[in-house]
Amino acid sequence: DAGITQSPRHKVTETGTPVTLRCHQTENHRYMYWYRQDPGHGLRLIHYSYGVKDTDKGEVSDGYSVSRSKTEDFLLTLESATSSQTSVYFCATGTGTYEQYFGPGTRLTVT
């Protein structure tokens, strides 16, 4: 258990509104990741970070931005939420070897 928390755990929002999800870790892991999980698609990488202020895009980054101002926090922002962004979002951390450790997830519904 890498000591990863996500907030909020559940959120319902309206189309067009901005939304920010927070991931907080206590393990001082260098790498942090945001994934979304949808039926039939498994887990898909949105953005990841390899250090403070160092971020890069994943395979489904359109409509999302991230920021990492401290080692322990990684924020995911939906600039203008759409119904296609209804999903379960997972944060993960890693040390740069093989393993990744996942948070409990945030269920986001965009109406």
Partner 1 sequence: TQLLEQSPQFLSIQEGENLTVYCNSSSVFSSLQWYRQEPGEGPVLLVTVVTGGEVKKLKRLTFQFGDARKDSSLHITAAQPGDTGLYLCAGLNTGFQKLVFGTGTRLLVSP
Contact footprint for partner 1 (CB under 8 A) = 4, 31, 33, 35, 40-45, 48, 50, 58-59, 90, 92, 94, 96, 98-105
Smallest separation, CB 17 to partner 1 (Å): 25
Residues 77 and 20: beta-carbon distance below 8 Å: yes
**87 sits in which H/E element:** strand 87-94
Sign of the torsion formed by the C-alpha atoms of 34, 78, 88 and 73: positive
Three-state secondary structure call for residue 60: coil
Q: Which is nearer to partner 1, 54 or 79 (CB)?
A: 54
Distance of alpha carbon 53 from alpha carbon 107, whole angstroms: 26
Smallest separation, CB 9 to partner 1 (Å): 9
Smallest separation, CB 15 to partner 1 (Å): 26
Q: Which is nearer to partner 1, 14 or 59 (CB)?
A: 59
